[in-house]
């Protein structure tokens, strides 16, 4: 029996290092190739030895698909292609192709130039890796080879994020990557066809969370920032370069304009310009409001938000700073945090999910004494706030997507084990769909039922619709027709059309059965009574007439085509109603036949 096998090499009961290996109908596809922000050793990259113990990776893998540019989904790509050795195609959208190498280079600079790490990919490796990329458009069906095809769908989340459908013959898998089911200030909501795949592989970052009103969150965020600035404090907002950063910048820009506030707002140097460039270049990926107003006013050209210089961190007075990266695990955001952490007037607002092991996760867990590099202990006195502006789907959004796609099975990745377990039960109970949550290195095998597509002729559909029965997409519908196979293609057509196409003439097969009746009357009288009764029940078109009588032992015999409707179900009822009683031994429904006077009725069977 055909089957689909899925093995997470990363993001199995964990967030970060997304990398899922899928085997479908003899094809092997790797979904994402990310790094883990909670580790600084070999554990930060997936263990690619699971793929194959011997031979080249290119011989085993048919393709690699990258869902979006976040490092936990693409951070290991140059390592995988240039250092481990993969020469096959890598598929991603055009915005991801443009932004991915910039973030990879920033990541390399922090790891190699600042931390001095060895055994890391170089700038040239990033360039060589990107040469293997094949960019795809949304809703474009791409043939990887003669059998394997992929198709991208809009995922929201960040600029260029996409869900992918992987299809081989009649078997298919949908991989969501990270997605958001609600639109925000600069991106639309995720959208996908009702493609009914064999398996849906979905993220589950917020598996147990149902977010409150977006407007309430925005109001609380602005209130907290305003209060901190009013008391003379500094506000640090760690963000990733593209996505949530633009969302919050638009929000603060509008608020500063409305309230006429004077405290400066800064953004990490260079990132504002880069973001502005890419949002201009890929304006079609933004939401409808941004596209409509873009000609008159570019929403990403900010009046109140300026480029940040490191020297500004020591300036007296209030300020708001957006700094990267978003989990306080390295870079400028961590440097500023160390400077400001000791002042209780200051505030850090964490607007998104933080992976376990990062400084962001530690302070959100309540730790106020942190061991930093060189065994220095940092005491955190500044106010710590968590406000979810995450661009991930919450539990309600995940359930909504599963209901929309209508898969045969669901597999959860990119989430914490306990939260996954809760969502797994919810999906199985409410949606009646099998759900899986494998750990890293664990393989899930799903048997698939081969399905054969059959085309239905328009004439046959029209005839069914003429009966007044409206089709229901969720219920199977019985169609009567003739199945024709030609050149390995199947079609269901009406019997008349089939005869015409095949050049055949219609013919009939007729069957008879015999019913014995016991009646003391003369055979002609008996035949007339049976005839008048059947005539009353059966339409004229069903009749072929009565047959000749039998002369054996006073028995009577009549013959006709088997009537339809109520007559077909209860032959004994016709007999009782016309006053003729079946002999108990002669009626086929009453046991073994024996000798005796009987009337005989021949009925087509």
- Average pLDDT, integer, range 262-288: 81
CB burial readout 60-78, b (16+ within 10 A) else e? bbbbbbbbbbbbbbbbbbb
Which residue(s) pair with 379 in the sheet?
Answer: 369
* Higher local confidence (pLDDT), 135 or 575: 135
Same domain membership, residue 303 and residue 155: no
Range of the domain at 490: 453-466+477-502
Whether the pLDDT of residue 476 is over 80: the answer is: no
Any idea which of 12-21, 376-385, 561-570 has the lowest mean pLDDT? Answer: 561-570
Look at residue 523 and give its three-state secondary structure.
helix
Residue 310 is classified by DSSP as G
Choose the final residue of a domain: 371, 386, 401: 386
Same domain membership, residue 344 and residue 253: yes
Same domain membership, residue 138 and residue 51: yes
Q: How many CB atoms lie within 10 A of CB 296?
A: 6
User: What confidence score (pLDDT) does residue 542 get?
Assistant: 53
Closest residue by Cα to residue 76 from 111, 128, 36? 36
User: What domain count does the chain have?
Assistant: 3
Determine the length of the chain.
Answer: 605
Same domain membership, residue 127 and residue 50: yes
Domain membership of residue 600 (yes or no) is no
Domain membership of residue 16 (yes or no) is yes
Domain membership of residue 34 (yes or no) is yes
CATH for 149: 3.60.15.10
CATH for 332: 3.40.50.10890
pLDDT tens, residue by residue, 197-256: 999 999 999 999 888 777 888 999 999 999 999 999 999 999 877 777 888 888 999 999
Closest residue by Cα to residue 291 from 302, 280, 301? 280
Same domain membership, residue 26 and residue 63: yes
Same domain membership, residue 272 and residue 395: no
H helix or E strand, kind and range, residue 73: helix 71-74
Same domain membership, residue 493 and residue 423: no
Same domain membership, residue 425 and residue 496: no
Q: How far apart are CA 203 and CA 390, in angstroms?
A: 13
Domain membership of residue 569 (yes or no) is no
pLDDT tens, residue by residue, 97-151: 999 998 899 889 888 887 788 889 999 999 999 999 999 999 999 999 999 999 9
Phi, psi of 586 (to 5 degrees): -105, -25
Which are the contacts of 368, defined by CB distance < 8 A and separation ≥ 6? 379, 380, 381
Q: How far apart are CA 272 and CA 322, in angstroms?
A: 10
DSSP for 160-175, please give it. T-EEEEEEETTEEEEE
Same domain membership, residue 407 and residue 382: no
Same domain membership, residue 279 and residue 340: yes
CB 90 within 8 A of CB 134: yes
Same domain membership, residue 192 and residue 310: no
Domain membership of residue 47 (yes or no) is yes
End-to-end CA distance of the chain: 40
Whether the pLDDT of residue 451 is over 80: the answer is: no
Phi, psi of 5 (to 5 degrees): -115, 135
User: What confidence score (pLDDT) does residue 296 get?
Assistant: 67
Any idea which of 70-74, 179-183, 491-495, 566-570 has the lowest mean pLDDT? Answer: 566-570
pLDDT tens, residue by residue, 166-181: 999 889 999 999 999 9
Residue 394 is classified by DSSP as B
User: Which residues are annotated as catalytic?
Assistant: 203
Which residue(s) pair with 582 in the sheet?
Answer: 517
- Average pLDDT, integer, range 463-486: 75
Domain membership of residue 32 (yes or no) is yes
Domain membership of residue 559 (yes or no) is no
Same domain membership, residue 184 and residue 243: no
Domain membership of residue 587 (yes or no) is no
Which are the contacts of 457, defined by CB distance < 8 A and separation ≥ 6? 481, 491, 492, 493, 494, 497
CB 546 within 8 A of CB 531: yes
Asked if the bond preceding 325 is cis, omega within 30° of 0, the reply is: yes
């Amino acid at each position: 029996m055909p089957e689909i096998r899925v093995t997470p090499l990363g993001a199995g009961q964990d967030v970060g290092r997304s990398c899922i290996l899928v085997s479908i109908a003899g094809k092997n596809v790797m979904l994402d190739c990310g790094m883990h922000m909670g580790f600084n050793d070999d554990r930060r990259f997936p263990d690619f030895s699971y793929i194959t113990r011997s031979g080249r990776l290119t011989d085993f893998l048919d393709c690699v698909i990258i869902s979006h540019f976040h490092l936990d989904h693409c951070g290991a790509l140059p390592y995988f292609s240039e250092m481990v050795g993969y020469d096959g195609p890598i598929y991603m959208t055009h915005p991801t192709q443009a932004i991915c190498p910039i973030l990879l280079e920033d990541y390399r600079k922090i790891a190699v130039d600042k931390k001095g790490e060895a055994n890391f990919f170089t700038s040239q490796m990033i360039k060589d890796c990107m040469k293997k990329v094949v960019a795809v458009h949304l809703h474009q069906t791409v043939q990887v080879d003669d059998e394997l095809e992929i198709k991208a769908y809009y995922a929201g989340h960040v600029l260029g994020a996409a869900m992918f459908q992987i299809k081989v013959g009649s078997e298919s898998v949908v991989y969501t990557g990270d997605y958001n089911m609600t639109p925000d200030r600069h991106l639309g909501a995720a959208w996908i066809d009702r493609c009914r795949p064999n398996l849906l592989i979905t993220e589950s970052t917020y598996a147990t969370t149902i977010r409150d009103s977006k407007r309430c969150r925005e109001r609380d965020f602005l209130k907290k920032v305003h209060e901190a600035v009013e008391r003379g404090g500094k506000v640090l907002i760690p963000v990733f370069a593209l996505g949530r950063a633009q969302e919050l910048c638009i929000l603060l820009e509008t608020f500063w304009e409305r309230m006429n506030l004077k405290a400066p707002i800064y953004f990490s140097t260079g990132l504002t310009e880069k973001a502005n460039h890419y949002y201009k270049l890929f304006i079609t990926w933004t939401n409808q409001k941004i596209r409509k107003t873009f000609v008159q006013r570019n929403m990403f050209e900010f009046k109140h938000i300026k480029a940040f210089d490191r020297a500004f961190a020591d300036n007296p007075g209030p300020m708001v700073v957006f700094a990267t990266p978003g989990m306080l695990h390295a870079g400028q955001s961590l440097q500023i945090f160390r400077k400001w952490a000791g002042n209780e007037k200051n505030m850090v607002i964490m607007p998104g999910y933080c992976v376990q092991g990062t400084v962001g996760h530690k302070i959100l867990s309540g730790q106020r004494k942190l061991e930093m590099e060189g065994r220095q202990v940092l005491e955190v006195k500044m106010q710590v706030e968590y406000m979810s502006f995450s661009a991930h789907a919450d539990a309600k959004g995940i359930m909504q997507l599963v209901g929309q796609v209508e898969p045969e099975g669901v597999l959860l990745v990119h989430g914490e084990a306990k939260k996954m377990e809760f969502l797994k039960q919810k999906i199985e109970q409410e949606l009646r769909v099998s759900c899986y949550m494998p750990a890293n290195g664990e393989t899930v095998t799903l048997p698939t039922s081969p399905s054969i597509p059959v085309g239905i002729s328009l004439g046959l559909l029209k005839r069914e619709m003429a009966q007044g029965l409206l089709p229901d997409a969720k219920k199977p519908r019985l169609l009567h027709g003739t199945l024709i196979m030609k050149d390995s293609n199947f079609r269901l057509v009406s019997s008349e059309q089939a005869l015409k196409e095949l050049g055949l003439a219609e013919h009939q097969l007729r069957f008879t059965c015999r019913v014995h009746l016991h009646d003391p009357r003369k055979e002609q009288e008996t035949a007339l009574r049976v005839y008048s009764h059947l005539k009353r029940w059966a339409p004229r078109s069903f009749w072929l007439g009565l047959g000749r009588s039998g002369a054996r032992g006073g028995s009577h015999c009549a013959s006709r085509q088997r009537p339809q409707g109520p007559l077909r179900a209860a032959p004994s009822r016709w007999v009782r109603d016309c006053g003729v009683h079946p002999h108990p031994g002669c009626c086929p429904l009453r046991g073994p036949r024996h000798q005796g006077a009987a009337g005989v009725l021949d009925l087509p069977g």
